[in-house]
């Protein structure tokens, strides 16, 4: 805490902005203090370079085990006002909902009331970043924040404004793109996996069942091995804690129906062939019990993930 407060004071002085306007975020080895000498040297350099850098530089600066910088923007038109929503993110490992080694910073020049902005961000986060998993592991460090400076000159949006719905949709679209980027860039990953579950008893059951499949090491390694082993999916549904009637379950991979009413249809080889030629895999599951629906993004699990994390400090 002392180090964090020291950094905020230093930035406040160097950039001549209020200390309360500085938001600090970090990821790193848990329990290891920040290398303050290097941080303070970096801040000295930052104060000279700020005017000559852009959002792409920020995306690169926060990379750790990421393989590529994550940056994107959207245009938003509300009435006669044209505005921009931009962002950067980082994350590739220790990714699971609630606490992930993830940072995401979003910026807009729209004017929007704090209550409306907070609601939109919370809703977008619940529907995107909180529906991804790389390895099912959580971290002590994650942050998502959004800043709106009002420079576009519009009347501040409220939850009842005509342009608020458009803003929420655009924010969801951007955070959904970032969540897919993070999963696609999962440590050692070669495949983005989209799990679409429907027909659950209710929403909580849909979320439980989808995440159970998404977090299963056996499902993830099967996808890496280009093996449409639907039995592993069925097993993950069974232990998910959701209500499942095995003789009602339908499962498809990349549009090929492997299971109907809980029974295999003899199409494993055809489905496995699609896994060899696509770096995006869609698993559709219908429990055929109720109306619960959810979608979760995950990735495959490879030897490279083990190598990266075994050598993380050595």
Over range 31-35, report the average pLDDT: 89
Q: How far apart are the C-alpha atoms of 265 and 257, rounded to whole Å?
A: 7
Place of tokens 């000159």: 153
Residue 171 sits in the same domain as residue 203 = no
CATH of the domain at 285: 3.10.20.340
Which range marks the domain in which residue 140 is found? 55-184
Between residues 96 and 314, the one the model is more confident about: 96
CATH code for the domain in which residue 160 is found: 3.60.70.12
DSSP symbols for 128-195? TGGGB-SSS---S-EEEEEEE--TT-PPPB-TTSTTHHHHHHHHHHHHHHHHHHHHHT-TT---EEEE
231 and 166 share one domain: no
Cβ contact 222:190 at 8 Å: no
Is the pLDDT at 89 greater than 90? The verdict is: yes
> pLDDT tens across 168-208, in order?
999 999 999 999 999 999 999 999 999 999 999 999 999 99
Q: Average the pLDDT over 244-252 and give the result.
A: 97
Q: Which of 101, 125, 170, 175 is catalytic?
A: 101
How far apart are the C-alpha atoms of 208 and 50, rounded to whole Å? 45
pLDDT tens digits for 265-311? 999 999 999 999 899 999 999 999 999 999 999 999 999 999 988 88
One domain, residues 61 and 129: yes
Contact 93, 134 (CB under 8 A): yes
Q: Do 186 and 135 meet the contact criterion of CB atoms below 8 Å apart?
A: yes
Task: Say yes or no: 14 and 60 in one domain.
Answer: no
Label residue 147 by pLDDT band (50, 70, 90). very high
Catalytic site residue 158? no
| Residue 48, pLDDT score | 73
What is 285-301 written as a DSSP string? EE--SSSEEEEEEEE--
Average pLDDT of the chain, as a whole number? 93
The DSSP secondary-structure symbol of 51 reads: G
- One domain for residues 212 and 238: yes
**Same domain assignment for residues 60 and 48:** no
One domain for residues 144 and 207: no
Q: Which of 14, 35, 52 is the last residue of a domain?
A: 52
Both 301 and 267 in a single domain? yes
Q: How many domains does the chain have?
A: 3
Whether the CB-CB separation of 162 and 168 falls below 8 Å is answered with: no
DSSP string, 245-278: -GGG-EEEETTEEEEETTEE-S-HHHHHHHHHS-
């Amino acid at each position: 805490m002392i180090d964090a407060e020291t950094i905020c004071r230093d930035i406040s002085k160097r950039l001549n902005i209020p200390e309360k306007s500085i938001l600090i975020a970090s990821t790193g080895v848990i329990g290891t203090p920040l290398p303050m000498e290097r941080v303070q040297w970096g801040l000295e350099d930052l104060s000279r370079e700020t005017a000559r850098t852009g959002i792409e530089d920020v995306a690169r600066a926060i990379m750790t085990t990421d393989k590529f910088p994550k940056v994107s923007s959207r245009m938003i038109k509300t009435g006669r006002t044209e505005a921009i929503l931009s962002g950067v993110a980082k994350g590739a490992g220790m990714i699971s909902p609630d606490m992930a080694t993830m940072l995401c910073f979003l910026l807009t020049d729209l004017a929007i009331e704090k209550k409306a902005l907070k609601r939109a961000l919370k809703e977008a986060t619940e529907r995107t970043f909180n529906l991804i998993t790389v390895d099912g592991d959580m971290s002590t460090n994650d942050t998502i924040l959004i800043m709106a400076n009002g420079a576009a000159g519009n009347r501040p949006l409220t939850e009842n404004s005509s342009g608020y719905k458009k803003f929420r949709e655009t924010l969801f679209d951007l955070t959904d793109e970032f969540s897919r980027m993070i999963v696609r860039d999962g440590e050692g990953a070669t495949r983005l996996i989209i799990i679409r579950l429907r027909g659950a008893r209710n929403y909580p059951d849909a979320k439980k069942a989808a995440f159970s499949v998404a977090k299963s090491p056996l499902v993830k390694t099967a996808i890496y091995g280009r093996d449409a082993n639907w039995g592993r999916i069925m097993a993950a549904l069974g232990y998910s804690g959701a209500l499942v009637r095995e003789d009602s379950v339908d499962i498809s991979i990349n549009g090929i129906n492997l299971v109907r009413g809980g029974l295999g249809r003899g199409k494993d080889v055809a489905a496995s062939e699609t896994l060899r030629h696509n770096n995006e895999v869609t698993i559709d599951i219908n429990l055929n019990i109720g109306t619960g629906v959810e979608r979760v993004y995950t990735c495959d699990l490879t030897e490279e993930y083990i190598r990266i994390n075994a050598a993380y400090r050595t």
